[in-house]
Chains A and B, each alone.
Chain A
């Protein structure tokens, strides 16, 4: 029995072996069916009642009382009480007044910092017994907002291992991890892993490891700090070597050199902008504006610089943006938007928003999308830059979640 240390409860390393638990419903924007609060409550009630009857010797008549010492909402509490009564009835136990009961059962809905704790106190004469059950909490939903454009997110995939980048089309999902590239194909609405291709590298990866995956037809290129891998999705192959070649930031439009031992681009550009240099940056975006181009760089000094026409002098230095930004070609509004993250610490939940340049300022054009965790990667994707791929780590589960972002017109 092999366990990996990615879960408090040491879950088996499922994603590689049991992919069927993740139902791919990308077009519907659904990652998988979560147990509802009601079903969790029913299962927990059943388990609690079984244990209570086992301890108490299945008394035929019980007096039952409840106490809520937690923040469980009243509707769930009511559902829990009903489920407990149902299970007692099904077990042939009569719920009676205390004076005619063989035993008294008090159920307290308590909680710890991670879950609800249901405590059953069974009093039979002078003897008192306890049964305790931990019950997972259900997540709360957030209220919708009304934006100008709509930034939509679709969950594609979740896994325990970090995701640095991913590629998605209707048949293939390619996931770049720190130690391998995993190839999945769609079968009956589920992703099934076909191959994993090891990434061989000599140097220690830096903290805040980043990587770029580029798939063109069946060919793929992986850029990692100080390492370049090339290979094929089909037939699967990957060959890695030490390299300081520049990374493709944006398909064909921006290529830049990445620091081999850090988490940022060193500011020296290649490709269409070869010879130009800017300050070191975490992320960048470029898009056409009429017959000219605009560029946005999220600098390592915490400031975002907007360049218009050329890269000689910034047209504006902006604050209020985080270090993850990527351009998206939606056809809505001005046609191009920048998806930007919020200036929060990378250990806190992030917020994404679509923005447009108005003069020399960035204006929000969509409502902010609150994520459950911090964004660890965000890159422009799609043949025509029509999507942004982002990766978020959920603080609740610790899992990395691949997300596709699109902007739609209202």
Chain B
């Protein structure tokens, strides 16, 4: 029974868990556009709760709803709310929940049936409603007239400096009992350079690591958790084929050039060398580990075909530089964008890669002059149909794709939806990338779902005295 001198399996109360986020979060609203939505969701999930939860095995668990039922038509769901209170002490009602879900853009009709029951009604059978409502986007938020947002989560917002720091304190009245730590302090964008040199996290309970930071640590011995390769690194051409041409920099790129670019990429080198094997080459939008079928999608790595396609794209087309914007705050995106430029050059396509601050939001994409953007999109659900629908939304693809994904009853139907999303090469998957978090030895019960989402509801930290109330 060897073990650490100070180790225990039951959680202890007290203390402050200090967490470093790599990305800066400017807005905690789960429905707002955000440059780094995954980081925002990590913070927001501590404040705002969803009706259902998904655990690390992909199972649905009760959240703010204690149970739910589905009628025989498989169109109408009823969610029964537990007795819970917002952070101002007011009780959560079905009216609050319906208002919150409607504002978040739930794709179905949502109405309160009675004080504690919410009805969600779809036009056709909707098998994935609970999984959809487990996404942080659909967390329940009560909006005050002055614009402040109230949640029901295990922590309350005590201090908020956008992009810099957040201090969350435990919610003594939480329906599931108070959280173990007294507080969670989040620092955004803090440098980990010294910590990495010393290989000690020091005062921090946990720190989000980029893959290049991971290089200096031994994941096996230094408390590093690496998720499945879940984030999608993808090239998105901003202008759809049916869009109005003429605006500078916004002309649809010739589909043959897009296909040529897709065929030019050396995905294996990108995954194995640049991303240090903490990723998997992507031929689909959803990773193989999630669906089991990604390998059926065509493996586009055919440079001879790419050269041919580029040459046939019309006079001048291959030689006109393609502008590719990437998130300038993401060192991995920079590396991969530059590599895409090298690969494209091999087949006669010139790619000019440059960093930009706001490529991740639709508003930001509308203002960039690039032809395409390199995005890193989180896998928002462990249910493949819900995850694909969310990706379709994030990528701004044909609005028909989301409902088609959500209505897919069988894996082969979902495969077909995904195949269609990729067929015009407006979206070019590059890699599925892991997320990593570095944990201090005194941090316990940190859970990371396979898609990298943090589960902190059982988190506790050592070094705190057990206060006996």
Query: How many whole Å from B55's CB to the nearest CB in chain A?
Result: 7
Q: Beyond A5-B61, A207-B177, A398-B57, is A347–B7 a contact (Cβ under 8 Å)?
A: no
Picked from B8, B57, B450, the residue with its CB within 8 Å of the CB of A282 is: B8
Q: When the two chains form their complex, are residues B466 and A364 in contact, meaning their CB atoms are under 8 A apart?
A: no
Q: Which residues of the partner chain B approach A202 to less than 8 Å between Cβ atoms? A: none
Determine the distance from Cα of A350 to Cα of B1 in the docked complex, in whole angstroms. Answer: 11
Determine the distance from Cα of A138 to Cα of B227 in the docked complex, in whole angstroms. Answer: 24
Chain A residues 238-281 with CB under 8 Å of chain B are 259-264, 266, 280
Q: Beyond A282-B10, A300-B12, is A262–B466 a contact (Cβ under 8 Å)?
A: yes
Chain B residues 4-33 with CB under 8 Å of chain A are 4-13
Q: Beyond A114-B57, A303-B6, A346-B11, is A4–B466 a contact (Cβ under 8 Å)?
A: no
Q: When the two chains form their complex, are residues B179 and A5 in contact, meaning their CB atoms are under 8 A apart?
A: no
Asked whether B146 is an interface residue with its Cβ less than 8 Å from the other chain, the reply is: no
Q: When the two chains form their complex, are residues A320 and B60 in contact, meaning their CB atoms are under 8 A apart?
A: no
Q: When the two chains form their complex, are residues B179 and A350 in contact, meaning their CB atoms are under 8 A apart?
A: no
Determine the distance from Cα of A6 to Cα of B56 in the docked complex, in whole angstroms. Answer: 13
Q: When the two chains form their complex, are residues B10 and A319 in contact, meaning their CB atoms are under 8 A apart?
A: no
Q: When the two chains form their complex, are residues A322 and B57 in contact, meaning their CB atoms are under 8 A apart?
A: no
Query: How many whole Å from B299's CB to the nearest CB in chain A?
Result: 13
Q: Which residues of the partner chain A approach B415 to less than 8 Å between Cβ atoms? A: 130, 132
Q: When the two chains form their complex, are residues A10 and B60 in contact, meaning their CB atoms are under 8 A apart?
A: yes
Q: When the two chains form their complex, are residues B130 and A5 in contact, meaning their CB atoms are under 8 A apart?
A: yes
Asked whether B444 is an interface residue with its Cβ less than 8 Å from the other chain, the reply is: yes
Asked whether B62 is an interface residue with its Cβ less than 8 Å from the other chain, the reply is: yes
Q: Name, among A209, A322, A362, the residue most crowded by chain B CB atoms within 10 Å (CB to CB).
A: A322
Query: How many whole Å from A150's CB to the nearest CB in chain B?
Result: 17
Q: Beyond A132-B411, A345-B444, is A324–B9 a contact (Cβ under 8 Å)?
A: yes
Determine the distance from Cα of A10 to Cα of B58 in the docked complex, in whole angstroms. Answer: 12
Interface string of B431-467 (1 = CB under 8 A from A): 0000000000000111100100000011000100010
Query: How many whole Å from A135's CB to the nearest CB in chain B?
Result: 10
Query: How many whole Å from B79's CB to the nearest CB in chain A?
Result: 10
Asked whether B176 is an interface residue with its Cβ less than 8 Å from the other chain, the reply is: yes
Q: Which residues of the partner chain B approach A111 to less than 8 Å between Cβ atoms? A: 292
- Residue of B with least CB distance to A323: B10
Determine the distance from Cα of A345 to Cα of B180 in the docked complex, in whole angstroms. Answer: 14
Determine the distance from Cα of A208 to Cα of B180 in the docked complex, in whole angstroms. Answer: 10
Q: Which residues of the partner chain B approach A396 to less than 8 Å between Cβ atoms? A: 57
Query: How many whole Å from B33's CB to the nearest CB in chain A?
Result: 30
Q: When the two chains form their complex, are residues A113 and B289 in contact, meaning their CB atoms are under 8 A apart?
A: yes
Q: When the two chains form their complex, are residues A7 and B469 in contact, meaning their CB atoms are under 8 A apart?
A: no
Interface string of B37-62 (1 = CB under 8 A from A): 00000000000000010011111111
Q: Which of B68-76, B159-167, B212-220, B389-397 contacts A (4 or more CB under 8 A)?
A: B68-76
Q: When the two chains form their complex, are residues A323 and B8 in contact, meaning their CB atoms are under 8 A apart?
A: yes
Q: When the two chains form their complex, are residues B9 and A346 in contact, meaning their CB atoms are under 8 A apart?
A: yes
Chain A residues 309-355 with CB under 8 Å of chain B are 319-324, 340-347, 350-351, 353, 355
Asked whether A90 is an interface residue with its Cβ less than 8 Å from the other chain, the reply is: no
Q: Which residues of the partner chain B approach A208 to less than 8 Å between Cβ atoms? A: 10-11, 177, 458
Q: Beyond A5-B52, A319-B3, is A207–B178 a contact (Cβ under 8 Å)?
A: yes
Q: Beyond A302-B6, A321-B1, is A1–B177 a contact (Cβ under 8 Å)?
A: no
Query: How many whole Å from B268's CB to the nearest CB in chain A?
Result: 17
Q: When the two chains form their complex, are residues A113 and B10 in contact, meaning their CB atoms are under 8 A apart?
A: no
Determine the distance from Cα of A341 to Cα of B2 in the docked complex, in whole angstroms. Answer: 11
Chain B residues 173-194 with CB under 8 Å of chain A are 173-180
Q: Which residues of the partner chain A approach B12 to less than 8 Å between Cβ atoms? A: 300-302
Size range of the chain B interface in the assembly: 35 or more
Task: Report whether over half of chain B's contact residues are helix, strand or loop; otherwise say mixed.
Answer: loop
Asked whether B410 is an interface residue with its Cβ less than 8 Å from the other chain, the reply is: yes
Q: When the two chains form their complex, are residues A209 and B177 in contact, meaning their CB atoms are under 8 A apart?
A: yes
Determine the distance from Cα of A351 to Cα of B6 in the docked complex, in whole angstroms. Answer: 17
Picked from A5, A204, A262, A347, the residue with its CB within 8 Å of the CB of B447 is: A347
Determine the distance from Cα of A47 to Cα of B70 in the docked complex, in whole angstroms. Answer: 26
Picked from A108, A207, A262, the residue with its CB within 8 Å of the CB of B468 is: A262
Determine the distance from Cα of A113 to Cα of B432 in the docked complex, in whole angstroms. Answer: 15
Determine the distance from Cα of A280 to Cα of B57 in the docked complex, in whole angstroms. Answer: 34
Query: How many whole Å from A401's CB to the nearest CB in chain B?
Result: 15
Chain B residues 404-447 with CB under 8 Å of chain A are 410-412, 415, 444-447
Q: When the two chains form their complex, are residues B178 and A206 in contact, meaning their CB atoms are under 8 A apart?
A: yes
Picked from A1, A116, A263, A395, the residue with its CB within 8 Å of the CB of B10 is: A263
Q: Which residues of the partner chain A approach B4 to less than 8 Å between Cβ atoms? A: 319-320, 343
Chain B residues 103-146 with CB under 8 Å of chain A are 130
Picked from B228, B447, B469, the residue with its CB within 8 Å of the CB of A261 is: B469
Q: When the two chains form their complex, are residues B55 and A375 in contact, meaning their CB atoms are under 8 A apart?
A: no
Asked whether A85 is an interface residue with its Cβ less than 8 Å from the other chain, the reply is: no
Ranked nearest first, the 9 interchain pairs of A and B with the lowest CB-CB distance are A117-B292, A343-B7, A343-B3, A319-B5, A323-B10, A132-B411, A207-B177, A112-B292, A302-B6
Contacts beyond the supplied A69-B295, A346-B10: 6 A-B pairs with Cβ under 8 Å: A2-B67, A112-B291, A259-B469, A319-B7, A345-B446, A346-B444
9 example contacts (A-B, Cβ-Cβ < 8 A) are as follows A5-B68, A132-B412, A204-B174, A280-B466, A323-B8, A342-B1, A345-B9, A346-B9, A368-B1
| Contacts from B to A (Cβ < 8 Å) | 1-13, 52, 55-62, 65, 67-72, 130, 173-180, 228, 288-293, 295-296, 410-412, 415, 444-447, 450, 457-458, 462, 466, 468-469
| Contacts from A to B (Cβ < 8 Å) | 1-8, 10, 69-70, 108, 110-114, 116-117, 119, 121, 130-132, 134, 204-209, 259-264, 266, 280, 282, 298, 300-303, 319-324, 340-347, 350-351, 353, 355, 362, 364, 368, 374-375, 395-396, 398
